[in-house]
Amino acid sequence: MGTRRQRFRYGRALSGTAALALLCGLGACLGTAGRGHDHGPFQHTLDRQAAALRGGDEPGYLTAVDPGHRGEQRRAFHNLRRLPLAEWSYDVRKVTKAHDIATVEATLRYRLAGYDRVASTATERLRFVRRDGAWRIAAEASGSDAQLWEQGTMTVVRGSHSLVLGVGRKRSELRALADAADRAVPAVTATWPDGWSRRPVLEAPASTRQMARLLGSPAANSRTYAGIAAVTTGEVTGAARSDADRIVVNPRAYGLLSEEGRQVVLTHETTHVATRRQTTPATPLWLSEGIADWSGYRRSQLTPKEAAPELARAPDEAHTLPSDGDFHFGNDPAALARAYEGSWLACRMIAEQWGTGKLLALYEQAGRENDGKRPDANAALRSVLGISEKEFTDRWRTYVLQQLRH
């Protein structure tokens, strides 16, 4: 799970910068004013390549690439042309030269028309070589953010509300993902009607290892995500226009779920997308994950024992509300599941005993505590529910026992 200051990664266990004010859109976005003296040739090359991509000019796109390294770039071009790109630009930040070789670090900004309200940003580190007096891209250097369109031939499926991008997946699988996401959107909108695009973007990599790469983890750490069906990445800023989230689906873990389980997972993740404006570093994870599960299970016929099997095995162990640390990916799977289950029951209890309006008000208030910088559940609970965190925890503990003992 990413740092709580800026990026977040919310996932669902089984048992993701404010955008630059871009003026270029799909038009030209050229120029090197204000950049370092050595940045000009590289910025110019990347600007020309970006313009070629936006214009669908494959030869122009490949002109920026060293002739011996055009295979992967050609595939990336075709993958990217399948996307509804509204913006695509680079901003060179750092150049390190050694004779006829240079490493260029740039910020990539892109936005998907109809889906993203703001541009997504990523770090690109590119190796350039100089041939015949011109600098051309040779390869990607280590330290770049991984992207799905770099992992193989990409298939794009559009749903009525969603966009699904997949590599190494059957079109039928991607269509099923789009259908489930399309069902999740109105279910979430019934609770969170405003402040989000209602157009989620899903990424479906070929393996858990590729999922780990997309999430910034070495492939060797893929076991960290083995029991995570999906992860939502984006920004935790509380800004009104901060949604450029991606739901990354783990093909193995998601594939093991029942149809109902898959729907719960995608509704859970879509809730994270919908609540981005209200979510800040002050929002406790038990509330973030609990309200997402509450949303996911609202239309489910599962009993509490069926929906919370790990906690049902030892309900007497529910002493305190889950801490942020309890949600770390890589924790003991049973303990991680208990953290989700206990959080779900906490939000379910609030909705039952205080009403849905109070649950949503608590979520918004929690995100505003301490100017959105650090959690204070006690203050939020007192403000909205009129009880202290200790009183709430005692009430939750009793509720857990009542729900899971019978």
> How high is the pLDDT of residue 104?
98
Q: Which of 289, 266, 338, 334 has the alpha carbon at shortest distance from 8?
A: 289
Find the helix or strand (DSSP H, E) in which 264 lies.
helix 259-274
Separation between Cα atoms, residue 21 and residue 113, nearest integer Å: 16
Residue 158: both structure tokens together: 């559009």
Tell me, yes or no, whether 395 and 286 share the same domain: yes
Tell me, yes or no, whether 382 and 360 share the same domain: yes
pLDDT band at 27 (very low <50, low <70, confident <90, very high): very low
Asked if the model's pLDDT at residue 113 lies above 50, the reply is: yes
Chain-centre distance for alpha carbon 200: 10
Residue that terminates a domain, selected from 264, 279, 294: 279
Residue that terminates a domain, selected from 279, 311, 342: 279
Instruction: Note whether 366 and 39 are within 8 A (CB).
Output: no
Find the helix or strand (DSSP H, E) in which 211 lies.
helix 208-214
Tally of CA atoms within 13 A in the half-sphere of 402 that contains its CB = 10
Tell me, yes or no, whether 113 and 261 share the same domain: no
pLDDT band at 164 (very low <50, low <70, confident <90, very high): very high
Tell me, yes or no, whether 334 and 250 share the same domain: no
Does residue 211 lie in a domain region? yes
Does residue 35 lie in a domain region? no
> How high is the pLDDT of residue 7?
36
* Average pLDDT across the chain, whole number: 88
Instruction: Note whether 287 and 362 are within 8 A (CB).
Output: yes
**120-131 β-sheet, strand order:** 85-98, 101-112, 120-131, 134-140
Tell me, yes or no, whether 5 and 130 share the same domain: no
> How high is the pLDDT of residue 235?
61
Better-scored residue on pLDDT, 219 or 90: 90
Does residue 213 lie in a domain region? yes
Tell me, yes or no, whether 193 and 270 share the same domain: yes
Owning domain of residue 251: 1-18+146-279
Find the helix or strand (DSSP H, E) in which 140 lies.
strand 134-140
Does residue 26 lie in a domain region? no
pLDDT band at 15 (very low <50, low <70, confident <90, very high): very low
Residue that terminates a domain, selected from 219, 246, 279: 279
Domain with residue 112: its CATH number is 3.10.450.50
> How high is the pLDDT of residue 376?
97
Report field, pTM of the whole predicted structure over 0.75: yes
Tell me, yes or no, whether 285 and 377 share the same domain: yes
Neighbouring residues of 343: CB distance < 8 A, sequence distance ≥ 6: 285, 286, 287, 289, 290, 293, 321, 322
Does residue 156 lie in a domain region? yes
The pLDDT of 57-66, averaged and rounded, is: 97
